[in-house]
Amino acid sequence: MEWSLENVREMVAGGMQSIRECEICAFAIAMCVLLLFMWYCYRVGREHGSSPLRGRYLAGPGRIGGVVGGFMSSDCRGRGKGKHGSMLEEQNGFAFCQSAECFRCTSAGESLNQRLYHSLQDYAKRYTWSGMGRVHKGVRDQGRYLNSRPTIQRPEVFFLPDLPSAPFFSREVQRHDVELLEQSFPALLAEFESIYHQPPARSGSSLPPGWKANSTPRGQWWTYYLVNQGTPLVLNVRRCPRAWRVLGQLRTFIANNVFGNACFSVLTPGALISEHYGPTNVRLRCHLGLRVPPSCELVVGGEPQCWSEGSCLLFDDSFLHRAFHEGGAEDGPRVVFMVDLWHPNVAAAERQALDYIFTPGRLEDKEGK
């Protein structure tokens, strides 16, 4: 091959033409990838856009986009009316579901187990089976796990196998969230005072707006929910902007499924909360003591503990537990701020799958299809 100026020009021209053709090809490929990505985002947005506060809490109480229903839990939504008329009863501004099919009222049985398995299959088809070993094992053998558990620990709805279990946990397992709650103690106490000393919601009621009276064998147990079974209660949230901001800063708060709750809890002197089990072992219940008079105690799995003002107590409420306040009227009520946090040994992939399976209303909706 002779090297001449003409040959060099031809080679350069050919190289430039090849580069232009490659650029066009690369541009076409990039556009295809971009379109595929936009289509994927659209699909994911449609699947998850309808659930309120999916993935995180917003900073202010006025930014609760898409949350409707006020005090009605989404566990009850869609079951308010049936052949026999209304199945919802309102008390002190809080809607109670009277349906035996409501999630919180449903005992674990074959019907629920089948719905759990179908939801897990839906999740795996849309996302992945990767990391789902324990969840799949738990869902597949749920009936056996629940029926064969020792009486000291028997979650009523869902048991995730191979999780380390103990009645009480060290604050170190959720250090960030525990420290954040304890730092927020003055703000949470002040906010409790503001909602607790409001006038009654209506004539004939002793409770201020938003408070719910719970059944107890003796004494009074009142709760003021900000999040009830994964659903924010809009009116209550608007009255508690500082508590709402604290929830938004927690890293392990269960915000997107029915196992997540946040509330102020009050026990009056002489009150007893009977022994009972929580619904699952995938969460740890955290109590921040706001007012703790003497003679108050929490017993979990046979182990007694006392609350302390400004400090958090972490426990697994799937263990048999009870609480009581044996003080006198002069001692005043026992008050805690309660939040549900993820068990530290539930992996991120498992949390995502459980959020999907136990999205508020998902299991009930499936039954009606």
Query: Which pLDDT score, from 0 to 100, does residue 5 have?
Result: 66
pLDDT band for position 10 (cuts 50, 70, 90): confident
Of residues 126 and 201, the one with the higher pLDDT is 126
Query: Which pLDDT score, from 0 to 100, does residue 141 have?
Result: 83
Q: Which residues contact 357 (CB under 8 A, 6 or more apart)?
A: 116, 119, 120, 123, 135, 139, 257, 363
Query: Which pLDDT score, from 0 to 100, does residue 111 have?
Result: 75
Of 88-92, 97-101, 310-314, 341-345, the one with minimum mean pLDDT is 88-92
pLDDT band for position 240 (cuts 50, 70, 90): very high
**How far apart, in Å, do the first and last CA atoms of the chain sit?**
77
Of residues 183 and 21, the one with the higher pLDDT is 183
Residue-wise pLDDT for 272-292, tens only, equals: 999 999 999 999 999 999 999
302: tokens are: 């046979």
Query: Which pLDDT score, from 0 to 100, does residue 341 have?
Result: 98
The CA radius of gyration of the chain, in Å to the nearest whole number, is 26
Average pLDDT over residues 329-353: 96
Give the domains, in start order, of the chain with CATH numbers: 168-198+208-346 (2.60.120.330)
Q: Judge whether residue 60 has pLDDT over 50.
A: no
Query: Which pLDDT score, from 0 to 100, does residue 277 have?
Result: 93
Average pLDDT over residues 27-34: 82
332 and 269 Cβ atoms separated by less than 8 Å: yes
* CA-based nearest residue to 362, from 74, 136, 72: 74
Query: Which pLDDT score, from 0 to 100, does residue 61 have?
Result: 38
Query: Which pLDDT score, from 0 to 100, does residue 20 have?
Result: 66
Q: Which residues contact 307 (CB under 8 A, 6 or more apart)?
A: 287, 289, 292, 296, 298, 313, 334, 336
Q: Provide the mean pLDDT of the chain.
A: 80
Of residues 123 and 87, the one with the higher pLDDT is 123
Average pLDDT over residues 40-46: 62
